[in-house]
Amino acid sequence: MSVAMQDTAIRTGRAVRVLIYLFLLLFALFYLLPLYVMLVNSVKPLSEITGGGMMALPEVWTIEPWLKAWSTAQIGVEPTGLKPYFWNSISMVVPAVAISTILGALNGYVLTKWRFRYDTILFGLMLFACFIPFQIVLIPMAAVLGFLGLAGTASGLVLVHVVYGIGFSTLYFRNYYAVFPTELVRAAQIDGASFFKIFWRILLPSSGPIAVVCIIWQFTNIWNDFLFGASFASGDGAPMTVALNNLVQSSTGVKEYNVHFAGAILAALPTLLVYIVAGRYFVRGLMAGSVKG
Amino acid sequence: MSARTEADFQTRLQNWLPKLVLSPSLAMVLIFVYGFILFTVYVSFTDSRILPFVNNDGQRTLELIGFSNYEKLFSLSHWEISLWNMATFAGLYIGICTCLGLGLAIFLDQKIRAEGALRTIYLYPMALSFIVTGTAWKWFLDPGIGLENVMQSWGWTSFEFDWIKNRDYAIYTVVLAAVWQTSGFVMAMFLAGLRGIDNEILKAAQMDGASNWNLYRRIIIPQLRPAFLSAFVILSHLAIKTFDLVIALTGGGPGRATELPATFMYSYTFSRNQMGIGASSAVIMLMTIAAIMIPYLYAELREKK
pLDDT in tens, B234-262: 899 899 889 999 999 998 878 888 999 99
Domain ranges, residue B187: 76-272
For A31, the closest of B36, B180, B304 (CB atoms) is B180
* pLDDT mean over A136-146: 90
Q: Which of B245, B264, B244 is nearest to B77 (CA)?
A: B264
CATH number of the domain within which B140 lies: 1.10.3720.10
| B131 occurs within a structural domain | yes
Largest distance between two CA atoms of chain A: 76
Domain assignment present for residue B58? The answer is: no
Residues of A in contact with B25 (CB under 8 A): 103, 106-107, 126, 166, 170
At residue A75, φ and ψ (nearest 5 deg) are -110, 115
Q: Which fold has domain A83-289?
A: MetI-like fold (1.10.3720)
ipTM of the complex in this document: 0.87
* Closest by Cα among B184, B178, B188 to B236: B178
CA distance B152 to chain A (A): 8
Judged by CB atoms closer than 8 Å, whether chains meet at B191 and A103 is answered as: no
pLDDT at B265 over 70: yes
Cis peptide before A58 (omega within 30 of 0): no
Angle made by CA atoms B49, B50, B51, in degrees to the nearest 5: 140
Give the model confidence (pLDDT) of A217-252 as tens digits. Answer: 899 999 999 999 998 887 888 999 999 999 988 877
Any domain includes B24: no
Max CA distance (Å), chain B: 97
The answer to whether A275 and A35 have CB atoms below 8 angstroms apart is no
Query: What pLDDT, on the 0 to 100 scale, is given for residue B96?
Result: 96
pLDDT interval class at A208 (50, 70, 90):
confident
Answer for the pair B249, B134: CB distance below 8 angstroms, yes or no: yes
Binary contact (A1, B189; C-beta < 8 A): yes
Residue B183 lies in a domain: yes
Residues of chain B contacting A116 with CB distance shorter than 8 Å: 18-19
Q: How many domains does chain B have?
A: 1
What confidence tier does A286 reach under pLDDT thresholds 50, 70, 90?
A: low
Interface contact flag, B195 A2, Cβ < 8 Å: yes
Residue A78, SS3 per DSSP = strand
Q: Which of B141, B208, B227, B230 is nearest to B180 (CA)?
A: B141
Is residue B4's pLDDT more than 70?
no
Residue B125 covered by a domain: yes
CA–CA gap between residue B33 and residue B36 (Å, rounded) = 5
Asked if pLDDT for residue A265 goes beyond 60, the answer is: yes
Assigned domain for B88 exists = yes
Indicate the DSSP class of residue A233. -
> Quick check: B128 and A52 CB within 8 A?
no
d(CA A24, CA A30): 10
Answer whether residue B3 is part of any domain.
no
How far apart CA A15 and CA A12 sit, in angstroms, is 8
Condensed to tens digits (0 to 9), the pLDDT of residues B160-198 reads 888 888 888 999 999 999 999 999 989 988 988 888 887
Chain segment A27-69, per-residue pLDDT in tens:
999 999 999 999 999 999 888 888 878 888 888 888 888 988 8
* Nearest neighbour of B145 by CB, restricted to A17, A50, A103: A50
pLDDT of residue A74: 81
Number of C-alpha atoms within 13 angstroms, CB side, residue A178?
19
Q: Which chain B residues are closer than 8 Å to A163 by Cβ?
A: 28-29, 32-33
List Cβ neighbours of A240 (8 Å cut-off, separation of 6 or more).
A82, A85, A86, A88, A89, A223, A266, A267
Reported pTM: 0.88
Classify residue B61: in a domain, yes or no: no
Which of residues B20 and A290 earns the better pLDDT score? Answer: B20
CATH 1.10.3720.10 intervals, chain A: 83-289
Hey, are the CB atoms on B52 and A146 less than 8 Å from each other?
A: yes
Of the candidates A69, A34, A226, the one whose C-alpha atom is nearest the C-alpha of residue B247 is A226
> Taking each helix axis from N to C terminus, what angle separates B2-28 and A119-129, rounded to the nearest 10 degrees?
30
